[in-house]
């Protein structure tokens, strides 16, 4: 995978059989703990924000073929390069600490692949975080405590989080 990281080659990351998920994007960092990547939005056919998953869940990955590469409408990946302090993001706790400055993050935990929390990270403790939630209408709600060991996916800087922030700003 080192070649794909160095050359910013888009890949598909398959989590089956652990979870029925395939993610697509450009890997920025991969170590024993975390896999950090620029997300590819299948709907808009451009790169859209970042995500972090646990590396042990990855069963296989595959570089995109020529046909898949030709589907990119706006090859905007360079807009995302250099935005993260990757040298400070070696495990999930460090990643969460670095993301305290993000306006919003989306967090999926291991309880359910379809349930997730969106909010602002208020505190990062040894074993859990406090996430001030925002609902689908852009309204702030009570904080939720989430165990770090149960976090499977963190998304941030995507059009989804930006849309929620815009709703919040309009209130």
Is residue 64 within 8 Å of 12, Cβ to Cβ? yes
Phi and psi, residue 113, nearest 5°: -65, -20
Distance CA 84, CA 162 (A): 17
pLDDT at 170: 59
Over the stretch 15-26, which tens digit does the pLDDT of each residue have?
Answer: 988 888 899 999
**Would you kindly state where each structural domain of the chain is located, as residue ranges?**
1-84, 91-171
CATH topology (fold) of 1-84? SH3 type barrels. (2.30.30)
pLDDT at 171: 57
Is residue 26 within 8 Å of 8, Cβ to Cβ? yes
Q: What is the pTM of this model?
A: 0.93
pLDDT lower than 70: segments of the chain: 1-2, 112-113, 169-171
For the record, the structure tokens of 159 come out as: 């059009």
pLDDT at 155: 95
pLDDT at 115: 79
Phi and psi, residue 39, nearest 5°: -75, 145
Distance CA 64, CA 109 (A): 28
Bridge-based pairing state of the strands 140-147 and 60-63: unpaired
CATH architecture of 91-171: Roll (2.30)
């Amino acid at each position: 995978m080192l070649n794909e990281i160095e050359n910013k080659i888009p890949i598909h990351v398959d989590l089956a059989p652990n979870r029925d998920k395939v993610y697509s994007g450009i890997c920025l960092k991969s170590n024993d703990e975390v896999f950090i990547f620029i997300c590819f939005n299948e709907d808009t056919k451009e790169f859209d924000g970042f995500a972090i998953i646990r590396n042990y869940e990855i069963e296989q990955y595959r570089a995109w073929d020529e046909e898949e590469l030709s589907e990119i409408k706006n090859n905007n990946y360079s807009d995302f390069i250099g935005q993260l302090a990757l040298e400070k993001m070696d495990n999930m706790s460090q990643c969460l600490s670095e993301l305290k400055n993000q306006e919003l993050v989306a967090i999926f935990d291991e309880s359910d692949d379809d349930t997730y929390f969106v909010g602002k990270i208020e505190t990062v403790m040894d074993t859990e975080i406090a996430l001030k939630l925002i609902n689908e209408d852009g309204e702030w709600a009570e904080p939720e405590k989430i165990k770090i060991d149960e976090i499977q996916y963190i998304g941030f800087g995507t059009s989804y989080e930006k849309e929620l922030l815009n709703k919040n700003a309009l209130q």
